[in-house]
């Protein structure tokens, strides 16, 4: 029984592509679709997720090299918020608790969606796992254990899994023009904050997607080309400051200018792959999800990962990333001057979170909203990790922490609440 439970948790539910593929298959079976449609729908849904993951892997690899060069070029040392790193450390101590909280948290999610107006089923499996790890770590640091820890952790996780998509949904309706899909990504406070600010400082009628481009620069209207050119400038400047010798070490001897240009284009290729995966995923998961909506949780909505919004405003994706990263640099300088823990801007979180915040900002406040909203989001994900570190107990001394805003907000609140009772 234990082996089977381990298989379900670690090999099925914790793999986003498998989880979403199963959800699609169940939805199609409930609708009594043909065997052909069930096979095709579930495979293409899984494939869409795998394509997104493949694109994300390319982006992360390109940004990983850039991070090394950037940190060396400007002599920066401190804490780098990275979900994957902190989870890898935490799983060694809280693996069993994480698995149980994740499993029962998903059940709580379904129950809440069935019984309340919050009809959201959170499908971003890796973020469910990350949040389960953080909850387990914080409750353990507060002195909880056993059944009490699992029960409280599962309820907290289940509530978060419906609350966050509900908070983002008004903005998602503005972005997508429909109510069919929701956002399932634990940086929702960042996106809502960006949209909130953008609505007050911008003009939604002046969209990033309507930016007038001179004829000589019309090639920039092509999203992959625009991303390649922008990233090429960023990579070249960083490589120039880092010096040829250091870049040669990272590039394994490739000439630094060629390396910078190829990394920029590789990054853009990764983004392009993500967009294709998103399109395939949406085209399959929404019709398949209708079965679950009609039977198990009437009128429910699938809450999907943040790249789901990228195709709606590709220019805002790039603008949001750059603005968020600049905010991260500003925040890093403030941390240094204030003599508090220096948070080094992680390029990966600033890309995915900043890009999404840019889309939210554009939907609510156009170009100005995309720039200012994602800048404010960049500051938010810089300073939240500073205040989360002490709450994580022994994990707070591992030189890394969670990067997304919901981990910071939920972690800080949960940590202080449980401390009141212990």
Q: Give the tens place of pLDDT for each residue, 143-180.
A: 888 889 999 999 999 999 999 999 999 999 999 998 88
**What mean pLDDT do residues 94-99 have?**
76
Pairing verdict, β 120-122 and 301-304: parallel
Instruction: Report the distance separating Cα 247 and Cα 73, nearest Å.
Output: 10
Three-state DSSP state, 301: strand
- Binned at pLDDT 50, 70 and 90, residue 2 comes out as low
Per-residue confidence (pLDDT) for residue 346, from 0 to 100:
76
pLDDT digits (tens, 9 = 90+) for 348-405: 788 889 999 999 999 999 999 999 999 999 999 999 998 888 887 666 555 667 889 9
**What mean pLDDT do residues 17-36 have?**
82
**What mean pLDDT do residues 36-50 have?**
87
Tally of CA atoms within 13 A in the half-sphere of 406 that contains its CB: 26
Sequence-separated (6 or more) residues with CB below 8 Å from residue 92: none
The sign of the dihedral angle between the CA atoms of 116, 117, 118, 121 is: positive
Closest alpha carbon to 48 in 281, 274, 275: 281
The strand pairing partners of 243, in sequence order, are: none
The strand pairing partners of 122, in sequence order, are: 303
Q: Report the C-alpha dihedral over residues 117, 193, 312, 126, rounded to 10 degrees.
A: -70
Please state the length of the chain. 422
The tokens for 163 are: 């609350």
User: What predicted TM-score, i.e. pTM, was given to this entire model?
Assistant: 0.79
pLDDT digits (tens, 9 = 90+) for 284-313: 877 776 677 677 788 889 899 999 999 999
Contact call for residues 193 and 320 (beta carbons, < 8 A): no
Listed range (189-193, 283-287, 339-343, 415-419) with the worst mean pLDDT: 283-287
The tokens for 172 are: 């998602």
Sequence-separated (6 or more) residues with CB below 8 Å from residue 13: 19, 102, 103, 106, 125
């Amino acid at each position: 029984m234990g082996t089977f439970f381990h298989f379900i948790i670690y090999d099925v539910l914790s793999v986003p592509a498998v989880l979403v593929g199963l959800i699609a298959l169940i939805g199609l079976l409930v609708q009594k679709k043909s065997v052909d449609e069930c096979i095709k729908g579930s495979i293409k849904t899984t494939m869409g997720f795998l394509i997104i993951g493949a694109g994300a892997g390319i982006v992360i690899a390109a940004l990983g090299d850039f991070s090394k060069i950037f940190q060396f070029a400007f002599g920066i040392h401190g804490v780098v918020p990275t979900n994957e790193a902190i989870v890898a450390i935490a799983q060694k101590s809280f693996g069993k608790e994480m698995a149980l909280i994740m499993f029962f948290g998903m059940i709580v999610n379904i129950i809440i969606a069935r019984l309340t107006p919050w009809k959201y089923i959170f499908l971003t499996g890796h973020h469910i796992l990350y949040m389960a790890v953080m909850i387990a770590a914080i409750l353990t640091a507060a002195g909880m254990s056993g059944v009490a820890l699992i029960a409280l952790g599962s309820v907290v996780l289940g509530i978060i899994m419906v609350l966050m998509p509900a908070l983002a949904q008004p903005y998602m309706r503005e972005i997508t023009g429909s109510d069919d899909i929701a956002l399932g990504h634990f940086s929702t406070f960042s996106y809502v904050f960006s949209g909130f600010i953008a609505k007050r400082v911008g003009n939604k009628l002046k969209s990033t997607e309507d930016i007038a481009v001179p004829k000589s620069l019309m090639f920039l209207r092509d999203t992959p080309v625009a991303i390649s050119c922008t990233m090429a400038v960023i990579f070249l400047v960083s490589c120039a400051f880092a010096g040829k010798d250091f870049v040669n070490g990272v590039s394994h001897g490739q000439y630094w200018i060629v390396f910078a240009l190829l990394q920029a284009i590789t990054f853009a290729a990764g983004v392009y792959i993500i967009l294709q995966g998103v399109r395939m995923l949406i085209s399959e998961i929404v019709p398949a999800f209708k079965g679950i909506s009609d039977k198990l949780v009437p009128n429910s909505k699938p809450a999907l990962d943040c790249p789901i919004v990228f195709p709606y405003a590709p220019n805002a994706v790039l603008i949001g990333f750059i603005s968020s990263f600049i905010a991260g640099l500003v925040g890093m300088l403030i941390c240094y001057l204030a003599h508090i823990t220096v948070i080094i801007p992680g390029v990966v979180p600033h890309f995915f979170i900043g890009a999404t915040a840019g889309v939210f900002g554009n939907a609510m406040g156009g170009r100005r909203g995309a720039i200012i909203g994602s800048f404010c989001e960049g500051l938010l994900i810089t300073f939240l990790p500073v205040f989360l570190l002490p709450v994580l107990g022994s994990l707070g001394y591992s030189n890394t922490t969670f990067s997304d805003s919901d981990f910071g907000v939920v972690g800080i609140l949960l940590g202080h609440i449980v401390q009141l009772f212990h």
